[in-house]
Amino acid sequence: MNLKSQYASITMSQSIFHSTTPLNLESGESLPEFELVYSTYGQLNENKSNVVWVIHALTGDSNVSEWWSGLVGEDKFYDPADFFIVCANLLGSCYGSTSPLSINPSTGETYFYDFPHLSPRDLAVSLDRLRIHLELDEIHTLIGGSLGGQVGLEWAFSLGEKLKNAIILASTAKSSSWVKGFNEAQRMAIESDCTWGEKRLDAGKKGLEAARAIAMLSYRHPEDMEKKQSDTDEKLDNFRVSSYLRYQGQKLAKRFNALSYWTLTKAMDSHDLGRGRESAEKALEKISARVLTIGVNSDLLFLPHESRFISQHVQRGTYKEIQSTAGHDAFLIEFEQLAYFLKSFYLEENKPD
């Protein structure tokens, strides 16, 4: 192991932030207290100017070096030897942060279906509580895709001059009816599970499998699906794509739960940067950070023009587009294109020392 990798591995850690100050939510509800599990990689430099904060997508977690290994990690674009990288598991998720399966301190019982409605704005406020706890006065780069991009936009708006760069991938300033429709279809699948409504940890598990299958159709592109899941032999049943979708549903149901999925898709639906701020355009104009938005030419969920809209209305916006047949998920896998876009974006401003 060389000195650089030894240095990077020593400075990776996971912690829990516990806030005892009530979090008042957009819905009018509140969380009397909450916890966020977060991971950090690398070390702060002397003037704390090297902070990169990553916000995960719908079913992600705080272990960004695992699910975004092509972008974050030793010798990758965001290298812990250069940056202090932070990634927190979002409220409502099931990887250690406060969620529907947590204990409600007001009742002493599990929240289950009484967990309050969260919005991306609420999630951004909770992340800012963590930032203050970590004594970070400035964030060099905030980066997130899909739901993470929505939360990132809300946070970029509220951070103001405390944020230098925002990178928003395959996301939008307001959830479209198309996105809400896909999410509603998934929740209907969860509702159809006969265990949904029961107070048990695995409630809605089979429904979640069906929901994930629906989601996968929105994450992929027909061309990509045909290329990777078509059958080479003649058959009447048991098609390759059927096995693929069932496998993806079962895979998610093993690591996630229906209540968190329900909560976070509801949060995604409620995303509207312009709510209470005249309009999305007016809200975007108030973001002072440099903003790079990245769309995907084959994205059928968050359409490329929605990413371009963001870059057109912020004060200092740049738009780039990934060319891929992978659809929405391209922002998680097209690392060479992402690194190229990021290098171009940072040309005007050197990486922090």
Tell me the catalytic residues: 146, 299, 328
* 12-19 and 34-41 beta bridge pairing: antiparallel
Backbone φ and ψ of 105, nearest 5°? -65, -20
How many angstroms separate the CA atoms of 150 and 144, rounded? 8
Helix (H) or strand (E) holding 267: helix 258-269
Which residues neighbour 147 within 8 Å (Cβ) at sequence distance 6 or greater? 57, 58, 90, 120, 171, 264, 267, 268
Contact between residue 84 and residue 105 where contact means Cβ atoms under 8 Å apart: no
Contact between residue 142 and residue 287 where contact means Cβ atoms under 8 Å apart: no
Which residues neighbour 335 within 8 Å (Cβ) at sequence distance 6 or greater? 70, 71
How many angstroms separate the CA atoms of 94 and 261, rounded? 9
Q: Is 161 exposed, middle or buried (0-12, 13-18, 19+ CB in 10 A)?
A: exposed
Up-side HSE of residue 71: CA atoms within 13 Å toward CB?
A: 24
How many angstroms separate the CA atoms of 212 and 190, rounded? 10
How many angstroms separate the CA atoms of 315 and 300, rounded? 27
How many angstroms separate the CA atoms of 261 and 208, rounded? 8
Structure tokens at 140: 């060099």
DSSP secondary structure string for all residues of 136-157? ---EEEEEEETHHHHHHHHHHH
Angle, helix 258-269 to helix 205-219, in steps of 10 degrees: 40
